[in-house]
Chain A
Amino acid sequence: MTVDTLISALYVFALAAFLGYQVISRVPPLLHTPLMSATNAISGISLVGSIVTAGANYNKVSTILGFIAVVCSTTNVVGGFVITDRMLKMFKRKDVAKKE
């Protein structure tokens, strides 16, 4: 990685950090638990890196490690989204709750 790439990567990091702060600080405590499971799911984006590692056939060790990483990341992504969905479905307002 050249210094140029590093600088642009740091730039992306800084932007993401700023964005992250703005978005996350607006989440009410009510939604903190779904927030944690959602961010877990999103961090499963490391699946992207794992897929390349597992599929590029670099060497046996990398493929095995990549395979395990794919399993872990996919579990996080799928599980994370399913759980967050489940939790969000539960949050009902008073009038909606009464109708049920």
Chain B
Amino acid sequence: MSHPETAKRGMHLAEFGMLMAIIGTLLHHHIVTYTWIIAGLSIGSLVGLAMGLWVPMTAMPQRTALSHAFGAFAAALVGISEYFRHAGHLGKIEMSALGFEVMLGSLTTTGSLLAFAKLQGLVRGTPMTYKGQNIFNMALLATTVVIFIYLIFVPGSMPLFFAMAGLAFVFGLLLVMPIGSADMPVVMSLLNSYAGLASAATGFVLSNNVLIIAGTLDGFSGFILSILMCRAMNRSITNVLFGAFGSAATAAAGADQHGTMREVGLEDIATQLAYANKVVFVPGYGLATAQAQHAVRELADVLEKRGVTVKYGIHPVAGRMPGHMNVLLAEANVPYSSLYELEQINPEFPTTDVAVVIGANDVVNPDARDNPTSPIAGMPILEVDKSKSVVVLKRGQGKGFSGLENPLFFKPVTGMLYGDAKDTLTRLVQAVQHA
């Protein structure tokens, strides 16, 4: 997976390996009845295929969250079933692994389902907090762990086992409740990691090496992604999980923005773009919600025909999950060689004629760099304010998902172009063609 070209080959190998593992298991001597298995495999394949083929790329974060839920649920169910089977005659080691598996699996299931709901808009995206929340969560977790440890020594107490599982399910919900939409990328990576670790725990319980290896790989992948996301936001992981970003914002961002936001006309911008040497597009979650990825590519095409150099600056936590923007733009046929990471594109902004910010907010907020009291202080940003001119495409004057004021909008170098991104970009295409 280190390069798009070799990734496809790697995936085919993985698929083949998976098939072999499944066939090998089906021939296992423990298997007596095949009816349930066939039924399960068929239903699962149908659902999986349907989801895989029909989910639009913009719904990728939601689908990924659902996938975590399924994987974790399967692990939790196997754990519960194993407990049932042995009805309390479990050695300490087995019980520990099983307990881990059920706890982790349960909380990841509910946590991922809530993440799905938040992403899909079924539940508010703003952080849901209440007084003493962290203490309550910690207490709940402590109780669950205490029951877990007790069960290791007294595995026979079935009601306690179910209590532990139930508490874990609840804890998953509570853990994800205070996470704001902007912090979703980290939580998604974490849940990815937990789902994998739950599978690895299953491997310990069933003494199955394949499960251990696969689960650990998944667990680590998610974990590394989480660390990367946190570094990209310059916040520690505890801060993300327990910091309730939203509430911090209202307290600290005292400096009210004075000054006005300069609105610009479409024709002016079109002219600027048409006669520029270098243009950099900076996409954010707004690009996804406006479904404007095709429109931005059309604009890029038109500009490139005129000899303008077009690049895209992708911030690591732009969007709602790691790599969100890359996938969105790839779907619009933007060649990945035009996509640049933060460290690559930042040095280029001083020589950029126009930086076009589409539905992005925190990732270009200079407060992260200049204002030490800002909630996002220290977070590496795309330094569009160093360009010769900045255009911000935004629906309106609101504060965006994170609720933070953005001084970029008030700087003299910036012009605001209000309206639906897709609509604006399409009209820009026509305007540039006539320029």
Contacts and interface: CB of A to CB of B under 8 A. Distances in A.
A65 B327 contact: no
A1 B64 contact: no
Interface of B: 1-4, 7-8, 11, 14-15, 18, 21-22, 25-26, 28, 30-34, 36-37, 39-41, 43-45, 47-49, 51-53, 55, 57, 60, 63-64, 67-68, 70-71, 73-75, 77-78, 80-82, 84-85, 91, 93-94, 97, 188-189, 192, 195-196, 198-200, 202-204, 206-222, 224-225, 228, 314, 316, 321-324, 326-327, 330-331, 333-339, 341
A74 B204 contact: no
Contacts, number: 352
Interface string A6-31: 10010011011101110111111111
A16 B240 CA distance: 28
Task: Determine chain A's interface SS by DSSP, over half rule.
Answer: helix
23 contacts: A16-B200, A24-B221, A24-B224, A28-B2, A29-B316, A30-B4, A34-B327, A35-B225, A36-B225, A38-B1, A39-B192, A45-B21, A52-B25, A54-B40, A55-B31, A69-B73, A70-B44, A72-B73, A72-B77, A73-B44, A80-B52, A86-B53, A90-B57
A33 B52 contact: no
Nearest to B28: A52
A32 B225 contact: yes
Q: Which of B64, B75, B207, B218 has the most CB atoms of chain A within a 10 A radius of its CB?
A: B218
Given A39-B196, A46-B202, A52 B30 contact: yes
A61 B220 CA distance: 32
Query: 9 smallest A-B Cβ distances: which pairs?
Result: A74-B44, A82-B52, A78-B48, A70-B40, A32-B323, A20-B220, A79-B48, A33-B323, A32-B322
A83 B214 CA distance: 19
A73 B2 contact: no
A60 B212 CA distance: 27
Interface residues of A, number: 87
A61 to B, nearest CB: 5
A26 B324 CA distance: 18
Given A30-B336, A94-B338, A47 B22 contact: yes
